[in-house]
Amino acid sequence: MSKILVTGGAGYIGSHAVKLLLEKKYQVAVVDNLCRGYRQPIAALQKKFGRSSLKFYRADLRNEKEMVKVFTQEKPEAVLHFAALCLVNESVEKPEKYFENNVCGSLNLLKAMILQKTKYLVFSSTCAVYGESKYLPVDEKHPLSPANPYGESKLITEKMISWIGERHGIRQVMLRYFNVSGASSDGTIGDSKKPSQLLIQNAVRGALKIEPFKLVCPKVKTRDGTPVRDYVNVEDLAEAHLKALDYLKRGNQSDIFNLGTGQGSSVLEIIKQVQEITGTKFKINKGKVRKGEYAEVYADIKKAKSKLGWRSKRTIKDSINSLVKWYQKHPNGWDN
Ligand SMILES: NC(=O)c1ccc[n+]([C@@H]2O[C@H](COP(=O)([O-])OP(=O)(O)OC[C@H]3O[C@@H](n4cnc5c(N)ncnc54)[C@H](O)[C@@H]3O)[C@@H](O)[C@H]2O)c1
């Protein structure tokens, strides 16, 4: 089976993709500098699938020499590129950090791919490239107008990948995820962001009394005054990456796909659902309001359905239940 290199594979979404790749018998090499990721999911997966199926390199994408070394050693057929800094609020405070890590890191990755003649790239992009929606649902032709440096860093990286890929024969799929939620359904892998920026994760932590829940969204013009987002399950997302790889290997051209459910939920609706499913009416404390947020966004998912053959199968209820399972076993997430 071919070798896939996964950047950011020790992080939240990346570790779920690594798990699925291993289940599908791929050989995997993970590159992660552990600035936001953890050794534990890698160790757990190595224990289950064997060290020979999953290699781990603690390396930084900003270090070109390190990247070239890993590629020379591994000679991967394809790359799933998850590694990035992705906190909207932090990106507004420290934009330079986001452009250096997300854009320069991706450039080094591309240079290593060119040298090693790696053919395929699947890039983790985001609906943040669209900014405030001009119409709903948001399709891939929607105007691109990021509202924060995080989204801008992803848009610049998309463009860079596209130009360099075209010149050097690297075919690519950009996956623009909407809001990611859930944990693996067996409760073995999950989210460990500290503090988490993700609403469903935080609401479940509030319900399980792990940490008081804080409402940090601004007041916006929506049906109940709280932001509306499209929450897509992390295992569904992992499946989309395999579909994207398959799509490229079948000889299709580079393309861009939205990954969401096609439906929006407001912050208050999500809180209500978490309270109902867990049977816990937790207190809603007001926290420091986040910067760089917008009112309403949800995805048009027709293109991913028709061209990739992907659709989200898991519901918000499934995501909530998987997170309950995960946090019951790992109240503080990974710690190492
Ligand atoms: N979580 C979401 O809701 C969401 C939504 C849209 C897009 N995305 C994108 O998905 C990807 C994964 O997000 P996540 O939620 O799993 O984040 P995460 O922070 O859990 O994982 C990112 C991983 O990348 C690693 N990393 C960061 N910079 C690195 C560098 N310079 N060198 C090596 N490793 C580095 C981190 O250590 C971490 O393990 C990101 O690219 C993000 O922009 C996430």
Domains in the chain, start-ordered, CATH in brackets?
Answer: 3-178+232-260+300-311 (3.40.50.720)
Say yes or no to pLDDT of 193 above 80.
no
State the distance from the centre of ligand 1 to the C-alpha of 16, rounded, in angstroms.
Answer: 12
Tell me how far the alpha carbon of residue 30 lies from the centroid of ligand 1, in angstroms: 13
Instruction: Say what the pLDDT of residue 208 is.
Output: 95
Atom of ligand 1 nearest to the CA of 15: 16
Q: Which of 35, 104, 202, 237 to mutate to test the pocket of ligand 1 (most atoms within 8 A of CB)?
A: 35
Q: Which atom, in ligand 1's list, is nearest to the CA of 150? A: 43
What is the mean pLDDT of the segment spanning 75-103? 96
78-81 and 27-32 strand pairing: unpaired
Residue 181 clears pLDDT 80, i.e. is over it: yes
Query: Which pLDDT score is estimated for 292?
Result: 65
Q: Please give, one letter per residue, the 3-state secondary structure of the chain.
A: CCEEEEECCCCHHHHHHHHHHHHCCCEEEEEECCCCCCHHHHHHHHHHHCCCCEEEEECCCCCHHHHHHHHHHHCCCEEEECCCCCCHHHHHHCHHHHHHHHHHHHHHHHHHHHHHCCCEEEEEEEHHHCCCCCCCCECCCCCCCCCCHHHHHHHHHHHHHHHHHHHHCCEEEEEEECEEECCCCCCCCCCCCCCCCCHHHHHHHHHCCCCCCEECCCCCCCCCCCCEECEEEHHHHHHHHHHHHHHHHCCCCCEEEEECCCCCEEHHHHHHHHHHHHCCCCCCEECCCCCCCCCECCECCHHHHHHHCCCCCCCHHHHHHHHHHHHHHCCCCCCC
What pLDDT score does 200 carry?
Answer: 95
What pLDDT was estimated at residue 72? 97
Span 216-239, average pLDDT:
94
**What are 248's two structure tokens?**
């490229």
Of 58, 82, 90, 179, the residue with max ligand 1 atoms within 8 A of its CB, to mutate for a pocket test, comes to 82
Q: What is the pLDDT of residue 249?
A: 96
Q: What is the mean pLDDT of residues 69-74?
A: 98
Which mutation among 16, 19, 32, 184 tests ligand 1's pocket best, with the greatest number of atoms within 8 A of CB? 32
Pick the catalytic residue from 12, 38, 130, 150: 150
Distance 18 CA to ligand 1 centre (A): 13
Contact 288, 217 (CB under 8 A): no
Closest residue CA from atom 13 of ligand 1: 13
Distance (angstroms) between ligand 1 centre and the Cα of 302 equals 26
At 293 the pLDDT is 74
- Cβ 151 under 6 angstroms from ligand 1: no
Average pLDDT over the chain, rounded to an integer: 95
Span 125-154, pLDDT tens digits: 999 999 989 999 999 999 999 999 999 999
Which amino acid makes up residue 256?
I
Residue 120 a catalytic site member? no
Q: What is the rounded average pLDDT of the residues 195-214?
A: 90
Rounded percentage of the chain residues whose pLDDT exceeds 70? 99
Q: What is the pLDDT of residue 69?
A: 98
Residues contacting 208, CB < 8 A, separation 6+: 278, 280, 324, 327, 328, 331
Give the pLDDT of residue 195: 66
286 alpha carbon to ligand 1 midpoint, in Å? 27
Q: Which tens digit of pLDDT belongs to each residue from 268-288? A: 999 999 999 999 998 888 888
Write down how long the chain is: 336
pLDDT of residue 285: 87
Place of tokens 């995080």: 150
- For residue range 154-178, what is the model confidence (pLDDT) as tens digits? 999 999 999 999 999 999 999 999 9
Residues forming a β-bridge with 57: 31
Q: How far does the centroid of ligand 1 lie from the alpha carbon of residue 87, in Å?
A: 9
Ligand 1: does its nearest atom lie under 6 Å from the Cβ of 101? yes
The predicted model gives 248-271 an average pLDDT of: 97
pLDDT band at 1 (very low <50, low <70, confident <90, very high): low
Higher per-residue pLDDT: 82 or 284: 82
